[in-house]
Each structure stands twice: as C-alpha cells, then as structure tokens.
Structure 1
Amino acid sequence: MTVAVDEQQQLKALIRQYIDEERNVEKLVDYLSRHEVVGLEVFAYLGFDKMDGHLFQSVAKDVFIRRIPFYFHHSQGNLDNLGTLYNFVIRIIEYSRISYEEELERFYIALEQLYHDYRIDTVTIFNYTIRQTGYVGEFESIYTWLHYLELARKLGVEEKTPKHLIVDYNIVRERAGLKPIIYEIRDMYVGDYIERNGNILKMEGIFPCDRNNQPILKWIGLRIKNAKRIWVDVNDRLKGFLYVEITPKTKVWGLNAYGEAEDGSDVWYDLYTGPLLMEFDYTVIKDKRVAIKMTQKQLAEAIGASDRTLQKWERGETTPDGHFLLRLMNVLDIKELSEITKIQDVNDI
C-alpha cells in the first residue's frame, strides 16, 4: 500500500510541473488509475483542445507517463521558450523520410532519452535546436543533438548544450573515429556559388569556426589553395559568408556544387582559377578543326596565320596570342575560354 501511495505522489509531483490546475492534476491521476491504455480522449477529459491525432496516438499507460513532460509542455511565446511539441510534429508530417508513425515514435523516444537519461528540462529540449538552427521544429537536429550526447558521454565530455553544436558534434565524431559532417556552400544566385569584388571572393553557407572565429576548412565543402587570406562573417548560428582574398595562383573547388556523381559519390567542381594556374589546351584546336572538317591550311587562312604557326599551336610548341586566340574562338565556334583552358585538378596543387 505504501509503495502505491508513494508512486501516486511521485506521479502527482511530475504532473504538477506541467499542469497548473490542481483539479486537472487529480483528474489525470484518476484517469490513469482506471486505464492501462491512454487514448486521445484524455486531453478532452482534462479540458485541453489543442492535442489532436497528429500529435498523439494511443499508448500504454507507462509510456504516456514517461511522455507527460512533452504532451503538456507549453510555450511562453518568447525567444527563450518558443518551441512546442506541435512545432516539431508539423515538420515531421511535412518532411519525414519514413512513415509518419515511425518518425513520430522515433522522435518521442529521442525526447525521452533527452529528458530521462540526460536530465535535460523540456524548455531546453524544445528550444535548444531553435537557437542552433534558427528554425522552429527542426526534428532532425534533435537526433543530431542526441547523438552528440551519446558520443560525449562515452568520451567523458560533460557539456550538454554546446554553444555551437555543429562544431562540438564534429569534434566528438572525429574523436570517436567517425567521419565529420561536411557543410557544403550554397548558391548565392541561380547556379552561381561565388560573388567576386576585385580580389575578394564571397561565398555563402554554414561555416564551422574555431574559438578564434576562424573557419575550420576541413569541415567545409571547399578546397582553397594559395589564398592570401580567408575569413568569415557569420552570425551566432555560424551562418553567413566566407571570404577569400585571392592571388594569381589561387584555386577554389566546391563540393557537389552542381550535384553529386550518378553513383552518389562526391564531386569537386572548379569554382575559381587564378590566371597563373590556367594553361592553353592546344589539343582543342585540332579537335575542333577536325570536327568542322577544316584542313590546317584552311584554318590558317581563315585567321590570317601561316600554316607553320598553326602547326606549332596544335603541337603545343607555341601559344596563340590574344589577337589570334579571338580569331580561333570565332572560326572554331568556341564560346568560353574554359573550353580551351586546362585547369589543374584538386589533387595536383
């Protein structure tokens, strides 16, 4: 009898943290004493009309009790307490990559672990990812946070709510022998990933930084060689811009900027090449000439050059100057300099 009374008192203490009216506390305890399975009707019984079938599906009584903190958490409507269960469930309905029922159960289990295993209060649970991402209801970020906590516990790291989760998560992933998350840059305009102003390149995205606000390039989907200076201008969520002060030998590649390979593997795309890294691709002249069925003599006459000069260009012995290059591009229908330029590969520098 004493055990049952103690359990009931503990249950009341839990419920009082989330339900203000003592009358409803007593009603819920009474309901739970009479039901082994809790259905949606319990919320109407308590006078709550906000819970619906999307947020709640019938569960065993012990499961319902473990999830009381989430079912009855309410927002204060300010930046420190804005998130609710409803925000997350709506995004699950819209963005889940598995069935809604499976995702919802996975989400609830994650909440239980955060609350019961890691002793994190509901205000923090529902709002920490908002501060990290800038979005309300980012359920995938909950899973990232939980995985961080699991790895941190194994590694003896005590911080539960790091200032920048994406940074600390990669730190513990690497310490645990896992691959870090790589943050790819975003297109600033349609199909354009770099904005150039003089000798400064500007790129947009999420940029993990160290404690000195320096970008951690190994975690960013960029390869940058021979830059004079690299820095960022980001907000508290590490979203913003990365800047590169270029030199004549600077080279920039972007990871999967224009999509992955057909087999799903990563592709590094050329985004910027300094002039001293660009070489004339002499093989293009012959290839283009043959494609349009012109002889060396015909092409030489068309651009006002000698046969011998053209032969040297096609063998790579000499390079056409700007005057002849423009004429070659016109006759051979070469629209972009990139078509007659050899650019070094990401692994060559």
Structure 2
Amino acid sequence: MKHIAILGASGSIGTQALDIIASNPNVFRLVSCSIGKNIDYARKIVQVFEPELLCMQYEADAQTLEHEFRNKKTEFTFGDQGLVDVVSLSSVDLVLNSVIGSVGLLPTLAAINEGKQIALANKETLVSAGHIVMEAARKNNVEILPVDSEHAAIFQCLQSAKSSAELKRLHITASGGSFRDLSYSELKDVTVDMALKHPNWSMGSKITIDSATMMNKGLEVIEAHWLFDVGYSQIETIIHRESIIHSLVEFVDGSMLAQLGVSDMHIPIQYMLSYPERLPMPATMDLSLIELGALHFEAVDIKKYPCFKLALDAGKIGGSMPTVLNAANEIAVNAFLENKIKFIEISKIVEQTMLAHDVISNPQLDDILEIDHQARTFVEHILL
C-alpha cells in the first residue's frame, strides 16, 4: 500500500491520478491533497476518499468545508503553508506534484527534505530551481520520478543503461501543438478557442497554450537537463505528429530505445505511482501498430516557435534566467487566456522580460523567489 499526497488534485493530472487510486484501492490510498478553488470537487474527494488533510487556496473555502464535514475524519487547511502541510504528513510515502506553475517549488522541497518520494508533473519546479531541487534530492536520497510523458519515456528507456557513460543523446518528441500546420504569419489572428484545441492530448488550459507556442517543449528540455544530468547539446527535439513515441534514448553504440503508447496520461501517471512495479491497464489502452500504420518525424521550425528558442536560450544561459522565463511566460499566457494580448505577443513579452534581467549565476532559494516576483511584476506593468 502506497500512501499518496496529491498537489493539484482537481487538475488534469490530479483527476487522472485519482482515477488510478480509485481503481486500485488495495495498492494506493489518498492521504492528503490540494484542490485550489474547486470547492465542489473538494466535496467529492472528501466523500469518496476521506483523506486526512485537504488544502484549499482560500481560507474561506477551507472553513466552509470544515463546517460541512465536521463529522468526517478529514481536516482542512489553506494557502501556501497548506501545500507544505499536505506533503509533510508522516503517513505520506509519495507526493504527486501536479500543480501548475512555480507554486509547486516550496512544497516539493519540503517533501524532499522529509525524504518523501516525488512523482513530478510540475516542470516549473525544475525550470525555476533545478540546481536546488536536484541537490536536495541527492542529499536526502530521494528519487524524483518524472510524470510528463516525455520524461517518463526517457526514464523507462534509461532503465537498460548501467551508467551515464552509455548515453549519447536524448530525443524528446513534440506534437507541434494546435498550430503546427499554420505559418508564423498566420498566428497573429488565432484565438484562445483555437489555441485550446490540441490535436492529440487532453490537458489543462495553461499547458495547452504552452504546447501551441512550444514553450512547453522548451521547459521540458530544461527539465530533462536536470532530471537526467545531461548537457543541452545532448538533447534534441523532433516533431512527431502522432504522439505515439513519447521520447527516445540514443546510446553510444548507436542503439536507440523508444517508449510507445497511446496518448493517455493515465499510463505514465500510474507507472510512476506504482514504480518500480507495473500494474495492468484497461484493454482500451492497447496500442495497435497495424491500425496506426506509420509514424512521422520532422525538424522543429525555430522561426515558427520563438518561445521554444527562448526556453533553450534561457536554459543554456542558466542561473536565474530560467526563473525569469517561467515567471514571464505564466503571466503572459494567463493574459492571452483572458484575451488581453494576442497569441504572438506571448513570446515578445517573455523576450522583453528576459532582456531586462541581470542574470545571477548561482541563485539561492530566496533569490529565486524574489526574481520570480520581480519578473511577474515586470510583465504586469507591461500589460497595463
């Protein structure tokens, strides 16, 4: 029995994780979770799973639930400290971090410092503070299990390697997002509704927009750099429209291993929750290569995806620049979703914020938190 804490239980990853927990009651138990603003979904979780602790974003919602469920075993908390409380319960074995944005950083560090196993679906944690997070993981002998389909694929392929010396290159696949068949000049007129129609995956709004700009793929490259301890010259990104091969690993002897599967996040989520064991999945998850017929690959058009290049640049610059990249992108994407800016302005705002930043080569946690705040404030002033 694994005792699970979920940060972001009402999001796309979180709800799928709850599906898996509910389908395997003899394997997993939900101990604690955070919800955000969705109080109706919080009520459902309490009724179905009866966790020990549930965190809401706002105190008023936590108080409402506490009154409604005063005869239940569940306790309620709220805010940033509540996220730390969720992961810090002594009964928690594994923390699934599936919140969106850099808000996932501090609870992840808290969980690592207490020796909890981490299933990471919050790439911003490593983008903003990869050097701090990975050092804490090494110090506390904590293995970080990557939930993103691309990193989960690489993780599985690397199980065959005896040492990092056998690794030559990582190949991260990308669908190309909602606008892969449009030219850059055509992107100036795209709408929010158009951007949210991903061709292959069902995801939350922020990550779907990041997929359309391919910022998401750039963040994944930075994340892979930290997760697998490889240089940026060893990471290649390729467009793979079918999203069947989730990533590939190339070894020094010329061999390549790929992980294939249907476009369903239940698969990597379940594997990381059950790791190192594998659990059966429903037959509907089967992949038929005969029905698929063919797989296609193409190079990334850097001119079409300026956000992708900005992410690569930020990763190679290092230091505090990825923190700025991530913070600026979060605010810019939110502005686009609220119809305050055009789609093509996302990259321009991120670039402007990066150009205004004086890089700190080895930022500490307090530096990162302050730089994150400053970058967000800078973008908010641009949007006025």
- Name the TM-score, length of structure 1 as normaliser: 0.25
Higher RCO (C-alpha under 8 Å, 6+ residues apart): 2
- Between Structure 1 and Structure 2, the one with more helix by share is 2
- Name the TM-score, length of structure 2 as normaliser: 0.23
| Largest Rg, 1 or 2 | 1
